Structure 1
């Protein structure tokens, strides 16, 4: 497999595997209570770096396709993969892309669920106490007769 296109497909496939591992780790962090915010922040940085790598590999693949006179879409990639007898690798890459898309969607739903739960909890606490618990800066406000928590003073 000395062809640059075949090498790119393998690199892209491997990088997607690493990205999937990060997505799976992210999902497991969302199920922890409480969420390990520091670990999630570090993971988010790693995920962003890996996404950049994937974008670069995609750009390289498109450039190779263009240089060889193929369309730069999936059809062109499929045609070149077939010409190089790399159909199986191309199909495995497409399957991994779909799996990553689905895992990312699941994680997005988990984030939305967590956020909704947090917002409902805060709303409940505000209704029960009749006061705002947190100021605009995210810090708790002192309770006392000299402070109007609703007015931010």
Structure 2
């Protein structure tokens, strides 16, 4: 597989990842979270990330096999010599965008979890101040005299 086709393949998968991240962010901004939809997005993201890792490993192998040094400088030189510098630069830009989107998604999840924890704490606080005793009597009213006494 040529370096140009590997870069194009990576770009297509990064585009799909960016789309999934956008969907995930949309799901997280809704008032009512769809857990099944989020789980589906997470599963699809994991599959894409696994595939991206496989292709990146292959790209690095091709780069090394062609005699270029490992790392960003070698990748840039290999892309230049293969006539696909523009494709390489677009891949880098899209990768950075995906990383920023993923970081934002992480922050959104963190905020959502903090909000949920505050709501749970509030509900517990209310539940602890219940108006009813364990025997079912209203704790705001004085005890009643048993009529059978």
TM category (shorter chain) comes to 0.7 to 0.9
Give CA-to-partner distance per residue, 1:25-51, whole Å, 9 cap, x none: 000000112101111111111110011
State how far apart, in whole Å, the 1-side matches of 2:69 and 2:122 are.
55
Question: Displacement of 1:69 after TM fit?
Answer: 1.3
State how far apart, in whole Å, the 2-side matches of 1:87 and 1:99 are.
18
Gaps of 5+ in 1: 132-142, 147-153
- In the alignment, is residue 112 of structure 1 matched against residue 110 of structure 2? yes
Match of 1:121 among 97, 119, 123: 119
Q: Which moved more, 1:66-75 or 1:29-38?
A: 66-75
State how far apart, in whole Å, the 1-side matches of 2:10 and 2:54 are.
9
**Structure 1 segments (4+ residues) deviating >6 Å:** none
TM-score of the two chains, using structure 2 as the length reference: 0.84
Match for residue 150 of structure 1?
none
State how far apart, in whole Å, the 1-side matches of 2:69 and 2:50 are.
23
Match of 2:57 among 51, 56, 59: 59
Match for residue 35 of structure 2?
37
Gaps of 5+ in 2: 136-149
Match for residue 145 of structure 1?
134
Measured at CA, do residues 89 and 144 of structure 1 come closer, stay the same or move farther in structure 2, by a change above 3 Å?
A: farther
Give CA-to-partner distance per residue, 1:107-131, whole Å, 9 cap, x none: 0000000000000111111112218
Task: Indicate the structure (1 or 2) with the bigger Cα radius of gyration.
Answer: 2
Match for residue 24 of structure 2?
26
State how far apart, in whole Å, the 2-side matches of 1:56 and 1:72 are.
16
Question: Displacement of 1:144 after TM fit?
Answer: 8.1
Measured at CA, do residues 78 and 125 of structure 1 come closer, stay the same or move farther in structure 2, by a change above 3 Å?
A: same
Q: Identify which of structures 1 and 2 has the higher relative contact order when contacts are C-alpha pairs closer than 8 Å and 6+ apart.
A: 2
Match for residue 95 of structure 2?
97
- The 3-state SS of whatever aligns with 1:145 is coil
TM-score of the two chains, using structure 1 as the length reference: 0.82
